[in-house]
């Protein structure tokens, strides 16, 4: 009997709302926007945060990255001849041999160079490294092989091409076994890597890394054939720099030792460098910061979206107050026929719940369409504004919203709660009407 009573109340509430379909629809749309905006904003925030965390995780949580940084020009003023700065081979030996928690150290030297094959030219990055570099940077070989320990020991004139370099230098030929010219030297191609997405600049000392136009050679070969001196021409004059290592990647034996090892690394380098010509980046620290920032970002976006739900609740209150005024005579008749105040309040509150639930359900459906809608929007923007889209940061351009599971029940629960909360006053106002005065209402 009780279930039948509630069913009749629900059915009557729906019928009353359908008497004013446009007004009811607009109220539902307000709740729909509120619920969908909660899910959308949290999904977008979660997608951006996940992309940033993925980039940081790509650096390796167990790694410590030390980069050479050129000091300000005023610091180097007054020095004659080529200016030495940055990490040295002695730093590499000192760090790798004296810190017990470091189980692997990778030296890296990077230079901007032109790569040639026949009349084809690619301006890219020449990277002198060791075989472990592929593992540390998550490079995957598509054809041939990567550098070996024997290549490093023998100072071999071999190279591995990045996917973009191979495609531009060898659009028709198989690059394996061919020779690529770098300056006056030739290097035999022994492998080609798969395409790898660039990493964003993370931390003050770590620039963005674009792997598409790289050429990898043994670091011993680079030291032998190119050396440490880099000469550049500026304002009709030559400037020389001496840099032995561009980067040292230190892999710690356990993640638990990363932070303590990073302090030892900083102290060790500080003892042998008079100027701050290096920077230490600890991905684990950045990862923890990114997780905290992600939580704050999601909470902030959720707060903004909750305001939309609040506006939707105010819309429900406004509609229900207008409904109470319109149905004053109906309320008087029902009271005269024996309806209690609780029956009147329950009826109007049920109509509020119907509006809230309808808005919540449609809002959830709209929120779940976040990812396909974003992809469709991005495709349209790429066609309409290709240059503007290319200039956007990778995190924004390749954004993939990720729906936060708990945002769905949260948004729906808030929608119904807001609807009930803002529907209480109109329901109580309707129930408090004097039946005689209500019957006199025209």
Which are the contacts of 48, defined by CB distance < 8 A and separation ≥ 6? 297, 395, 396, 399
Residue 19 has which token pair?
Answer: 């008497």
Residues 25 and 144 in one domain: no
Assigned domain for 259 exists: no
Place of tokens 């500026």: 234
Residues 148 and 208 in one domain: yes
Residues 214 and 297 in one domain: no
Q: What is the pLDDT of residue 80?
A: 62
Q: What is the pLDDT of residue 363?
A: 86
Task: Name the pTM for this structure.
Answer: 0.60
Residues 334 and 373 in one domain: yes
Q: What is the pLDDT of residue 441?
A: 54
Angstrom distance (rounded) from CA 305 to CA 40: 9
Assigned domain for 386 exists: yes
Alpha helices in 59-127 (DSSP H): 73-76, 89-98
Residues 240 and 100 in one domain: yes
Among the residue ranges 32-36, 115-119, 226-230, 344-348, the one predicted with the least confidence is: 344-348
Final residue of a structural domain among 203, 231, 253: 253
Assigned domain for 267 exists: no
Check if the beta carbon of residue 227 is closer than 8 Å to that of residue 45.
no
Residues 8 and 122 in one domain: no
pLDDT at 41 over 70: yes
pLDDT at 223 over 90: yes
pLDDT at 183 over 90: no
Q: Which residue has the higher pLDDT, 370 or 208?
A: 370
pLDDT at 307 over 60: yes
The percent of the chain in helix, strand and coil, each rounded to the nearest 5, is 55, 20, 25
Q: What is the pLDDT of residue 205?
A: 47
Q: What is the pLDDT of residue 327?
A: 66
Assigned domain for 272 exists: no
Average pLDDT value for residue range 358-380: 85
Residues 35 and 122 in one domain: no
Nearest CA among 377, 375, 420 for reference residue 401: 375
Q: What is the pLDDT of residue 27?
A: 76
Integer-rounded Cα Rg, in Å, for the chain is: 33
Alpha helices in 59-186 (DSSP H): 73-76, 89-98, 132-136, 149-153, 163-169
Q: What is the pLDDT of residue 208?
A: 60
Count of domains for the chain: 2
Angstrom distance (rounded) from CA 220 to CA 223: 5
Residues 225 and 324 in one domain: no
Residues 14 and 136 in one domain: no
Residues 407 and 303 in one domain: yes
Residues 162 and 212 in one domain: yes
Residues 215 and 85 in one domain: yes
Assigned domain for 279 exists: no
Assigned domain for 189 exists: yes
Query: How much is the mean pLDDT over the chain?
Result: 79
Query: Could you list the residue range(s) of the whole structural domain that residue 70 is in?
Result: 63-253
Angstrom distance (rounded) from CA 172 to CA 180: 15
The strand pair at 229-234 and 141-144 is best described as: unpaired
pLDDT at 383 over 50: yes
Angstrom distance (rounded) from CA 103 to CA 100: 7
pLDDT band for position 108 (cuts 50, 70, 90): very high
Angstrom distance (rounded) from CA 435 to CA 432: 9
Q: What is the pLDDT of residue 57?
A: 58
Assigned domain for 271 exists: no
- Enumerate the β-bridge partners of residue 247: 67, 108
Three-state secondary structure call for residue 49: helix
Residue 8 has which token pair?
Answer: 């009749």
Final residue of a structural domain among 225, 253, 281: 253
Assigned domain for 47 exists: yes
């Amino acid at each position: 009997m009780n279930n039948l009573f509630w069913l009749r109340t629900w059915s009557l509430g729906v019928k009353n709302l359908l008497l004013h379909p446009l007004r009811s629809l607009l109220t539902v749309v307000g709740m729909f926007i509120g619920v969908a905006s909660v899910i959308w904003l949290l999904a977008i925030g979660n997608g951006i945060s996940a992309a940033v965390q993925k980039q940081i995780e790509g650096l390796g949580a167990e790694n410590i990255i030390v980069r050479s940084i050129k000091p300000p020009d005023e610091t180097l003023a007054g020095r004659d001849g080529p200016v030495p700065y940055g990490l040295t081979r002695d730093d590499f030996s000192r760090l790798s041999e004296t810190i017990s928690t470091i189980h692997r150290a990778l030296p890296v030297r990077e230079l901007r160079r032109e790569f040639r094959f026949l009349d084809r030219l690619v301006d890219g990055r020449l990277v002198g490294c060791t075989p472990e570099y592929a593992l540390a940077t998550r490079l995957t070989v598509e054809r041939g092989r990567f550098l070996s320990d024997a290549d490093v020991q023998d100072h071999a004139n071999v190279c591995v091409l990045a996917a973009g370099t191979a495609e531009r230098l060898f659009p028709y030929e198989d690059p394996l076994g061919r020779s690529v010219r770098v300056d006056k030297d030739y290097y035999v191609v022994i492998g080609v890597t798969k395409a790898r997405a660039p990493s964003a600049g993370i931390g003050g000392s770590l620039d963005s890394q674009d792997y598409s136009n790289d050429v990898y050679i043994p670091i011993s070969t680079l030291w032998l054939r190119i050396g440490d001196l880099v000469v550049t021409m500026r304002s009709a004059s030559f400037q020389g720099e001496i840099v032995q290592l561009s980067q040292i990647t230190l892999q710690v034996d356990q993640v638990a030792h990363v932070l303590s090892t990073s302090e030892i690394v900083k102290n060790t380098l500080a003892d042998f460098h008079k100027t701050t010509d290096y920077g230490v980046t600890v991905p684990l620290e950045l990862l923890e910061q990114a997780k905290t920032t992600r939580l704050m970002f999601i909470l902030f976006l959720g707060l903004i979206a909750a305001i939309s739900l609040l506006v939707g609740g105010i819309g429900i209150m406004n509609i229900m107050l207008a409904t109470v005024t319109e149905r004053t005579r109906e309320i008087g008749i029902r009271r005269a026929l024996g309806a209690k105040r609780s029956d009147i309040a329950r009826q109007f509150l049920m109509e509020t719940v119907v509006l809230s639930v309808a808005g919540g359900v449609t809002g959830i459906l709209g929120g779940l369409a976040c990812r396909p809608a974003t992809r469709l929007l991005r495709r349209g923007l790429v066609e309409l504004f290709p240059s503007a889209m290319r200039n956007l940061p990778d995190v924004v351009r390749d954004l993939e919203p990720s729906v936060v599971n708990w945002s769905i029940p949260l948004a729906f629960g808030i929608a119904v709660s807001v609807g009930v909360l803002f529907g209480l006053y109109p329901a109580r106002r309707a129930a408090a009407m004097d039946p005689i005065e209500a019957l006199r209402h025209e």
